[in-house]
Amino acid sequence: MTNQIILVTGASSGFGRMSANALAHAGHVVYASMRGIAGRNAAQAKDVHAYAAEQGVDLRAIELDVSSAASVDLGIGQIIDAHGRIDVVVHNAGHMVFGPAEAFTPEQFAELYDINVLSTQRVNRAVLPQMRRQGRGLLVWVSSSSTAGGTPPYLSPYFAAKAGMDALAVQYARELSRWGIETSIVVPGAFTRGTNHFANAGHPADATRAAEYDAGPYDGFARQIQDAFAAIVPEDADPGTVAGAIASIVDTPFGERPFRVHVDPSNDGAAVAFGVIDRVREEMLNRVGFSDLLKPRAISPPSEKVS
C-alpha cells in the first residue's frame, strides 16, 4: 500500500504516541497531534521530532486541541494544504477519571463527554469534506472494552463517554460507506502498565461526596477495585499491541479492513458481547434493504501526491 497521510489525535503519550510511532515506522506520513506544543506539551513535541530524526521516519508533531473547533480546523487545514489530501484519522484523544459517580459534578461529566465524544465530531467535520472529495478515507476509532464487557465501578463518567463515542462510530460507518470511507473500531481492554491512564486520571470535584463514600461502606474500595482488576491483567500485557493493531488496519487493503478489532489481555467479555451486538445491527440493515452500507463503496480516487 502507498504511504498514507495520517492524523493521530491525543498523541502526546499512551496509545496515541505508540500508534503514531508504529504508523511512521510502517512508512506513512504521520502527524502526532497534541495541544500546547509550545507550552504544556513542548517536551513531548520535541521528543516527536527527535524520534523522527533518530529513526529516519516521517513523524511530525502538530498543534491541535480537540476541544477547540478553531484549533482543529487550523491543524487539519495545514495537513491538507501540505499534501493535498488526508487519508486516515485515528480518533484516540480521550481522558479518564476515577471515583464514585455521585461525587462528579454534571460539569465534569460534560467535560469528559466533550473530550471523548464531541472532539471526534469536531475532527470529523474538519476532515470529512476532504475525504469525501477524495472518494476514499479511513476513520480508526479507539474505543474501550468497557462499552460492552465487564467493567469496574468508579469509572462511570469515562465509560459513559466511551460508550457514546462507540455508538457514534457505528453510525458514522453507515453514513460514510457510500462515500468510499471506511471505519475500523479498535477496542482495547484494560492495560494497567505502560500507559498514563490511571496516573493522569481526574478525580471528583465534590470532595465532600467522595469523602462520604470513603467513610461509609465503600471505605477502601478505590484501592480494592484497582488491585482486583490489575490482578486479572497479565503482567506482560503490552499496550504496544494496540498500536500494532492500528498499524495493521491501516496497511490492510481497502474493503478488507475489519470493522472491529479487540485487543484485550484480560478477556473481559467485550469480544463476545460485541459479536452479538454488531451482528444484530447488521441483520437489521440486511432486513430493511441497506446491506450496501456494511461495506465501503469502491470509488476511484483522484491522483495522489505526497510531500
Other beta carbons within 10 Å of 275: 13
At 69, the amino acid letter reads A
| Interatomic CA distance for residues 114 and 61, integer angstroms | 23
**98 contacts 198 by C-beta, under 8 angstroms:** yes
Task: Tell me what pLDDT residue 226 has.
Answer: 87
Q: What is the mean pLDDT of the chain?
A: 93
Phi, psi of 38 (to 5 degrees): -105, 5
pLDDT digits (tens, 9 = 90+) for 139-148: 999 999 999 9
pLDDT digits (tens, 9 = 90+) for 222-269: 999 988 888 888 888 889 999 999 999 999 999 999 999 999 998 999
> At residue 17, does pLDDT exceed 90?
yes
Q: Span 52-57, mean pLDDT?
A: 98
Task: Tell me what pLDDT residue 7 has.
Answer: 98
Distances (CA, A) of 185 to 57, 143, 160, 170, 250: 26, 7, 17, 8, 12
Burial (CB < 10 A; 0-12, 13-18, 19+), residue 307, is exposed
Torsion over CA: 127, 128, 130, 135 (sign): positive
Task: Tell me what pLDDT residue 199 has.
Answer: 58
pLDDT digits (tens, 9 = 90+) for 107-141: 999 999 999 999 999 999 999 999 999 999 999 99
> At residue 299, does pLDDT exceed 90?
no
> At residue 196, does pLDDT exceed 70?
no
Worst-scoring range by mean pLDDT, 72-86, 165-179, 193-207? 193-207
Worst-scoring range by mean pLDDT, 39-53, 278-292, 293-307? 293-307
pLDDT cut 90: percent of the chain above it = 84
- All structural domains of the chain with their residue ranges: 5-294
Task: Tell me what pLDDT residue 246 has.
Answer: 98
Task: Tell me what pLDDT residue 198 has.
Answer: 59
> At residue 151, does pLDDT exceed 90?
no
Torsion over CA: 85, 46, 144, 193 (sign): positive
Phi, psi of 31 (to 5 degrees): -100, 115
Q: Span 53-72, mean pLDDT?
A: 98
Q: Span 264-275, mean pLDDT?
A: 94
Q: Which residues contact 257 (CB under 8 A, 6 or more apart)?
A: 138, 182, 184, 249
Radius of gyration of the chain (CA): 20
pLDDT cut 70: percent of the chain above it = 95
Which of 41-59 are b and which e, b meaning 16 or more Cβ less than 10 Å from the residue's Cβ?
beebbebbeebbeeeebbb
Domain 5-294 has CATH 3.40.50.720: yes
Task: Tell me what pLDDT residue 197 has.
Answer: 55
Q: Span 75-94, mean pLDDT?
A: 97
Identify the band that residue 1 occupies on the pLDDT scale cut at 50, 70 and 90.
low
Phi, psi of 249 (to 5 degrees): -60, -50
Q: Which residues contact 59 (CB under 8 A, 6 or more apart)?
A: 20, 21, 24, 30, 32, 48, 49, 51, 52
